[in-house]
Amino acid sequence: MPAPDILLRPCAAGDLEPLECWAATGNSRTHEQRFARQLAGTSTYFLATLREGPDAFVGSAEIRWDGCLDEAVPRCPEINGLQVWPEELQSRGIGTAMLDLLEQKARERGHQMLGLGVTEDGPKRLYLRRGYEDTGIDYVDRYTWIDEHLIEHHVADPARWMAKRLRTPAGAP
């Protein structure tokens, strides 16, 4: 099956409500937090749509230009929160197409390395196939989510840092 033809674009303010309908984050307001980091200039929150249906989201990912927050991890931009949704669209090449575009965006900004944290073996296999290397660096991915009773839950997931050296495409300056 050929890879899907997707569009990847930065989030806009008008996307926040439709994003919450697409992949609800509830009281955590994750989409708003990612958009706020984009407005601050520390990240870009990318949204993916299929070219033939540009009104419906099929994926999202944030590149944190200032890198992972954990000090054990080498400094380079980090892909954070890569998701393809709904679940029935997974394993159809959308995530791979998104990675191609995210890597291109990092190269366009002059970055030679891109990293990400992995907490499960399934995605790790995809990243290894894509040229990401297991750095051997374990760290704790920390985040907070807020439930329907407005109670904060602090999560600490063990993660493995993976990184990819970005090559300049042939013919590029």
**What domain range is 113 assigned to?**
6-165
> pLDDT at position 90, please?
86
Q: Does residue 1 belong to any structural domain of this protein?
A: no
Cβ 97 vs Cβ 6: under 8 Å: yes
Domains contained in the chain, number: 1
> pLDDT at position 159, please?
94
- Phi–psi pair at 28, nearest 5 degrees: -70, -30
**Half-sphere exposure of residue 109, counting CA atoms within 13 Å on the CB side?**
18
Using DSSP's 3-state secondary structure scheme, residue 122 falls into helix
Cβ 92 vs Cβ 1: under 8 Å: yes
The residues, any chain, with a CB within 8 Å of residue 7's CB and separated by 6 or more, are 48, 49, 50, 51, 54
Measure the CA–CA gap between 145 and 136, rounded to whole angstroms. Answer: 28
Q: Does residue 31 belong to any structural domain of this protein?
A: yes
Please count the other Cβ atoms lying within 10 Å of the Cβ belonging to residue 54.
Answer: 11
Q: Does residue 172 belong to any structural domain of this protein?
A: no
From the list 160, 172, 134, the residue with the least C-alpha distance to 68 is 160
Q: Does residue 105 belong to any structural domain of this protein?
A: yes
> pLDDT at position 2, please?
64
- CATH code, domain carrying 18: 3.40.630.30
Written as one letter, the residue type at 170 is: A
Q: Does residue 57 belong to any structural domain of this protein?
A: yes
Measure the CA–CA gap between 3 and 21, rounded to whole angstroms. Answer: 26
Residues of the chain with pLDDT under 70: 1-3, 54, 169-173
Q: Does residue 161 belong to any structural domain of this protein?
A: yes
Structure-block tokens of residue 83:
């998701």
> pLDDT at position 170, please?
56
Q: Does residue 44 belong to any structural domain of this protein?
A: yes
Sheet holding 6-10, edge to edge: 6-10, 43-50, 53-64, 78-84, 113-118, 152-165, 133-146
- Residue pLDDT, tens place only, 132-146: 999 999 999 989 999
Q: Does residue 29 belong to any structural domain of this protein?
A: yes
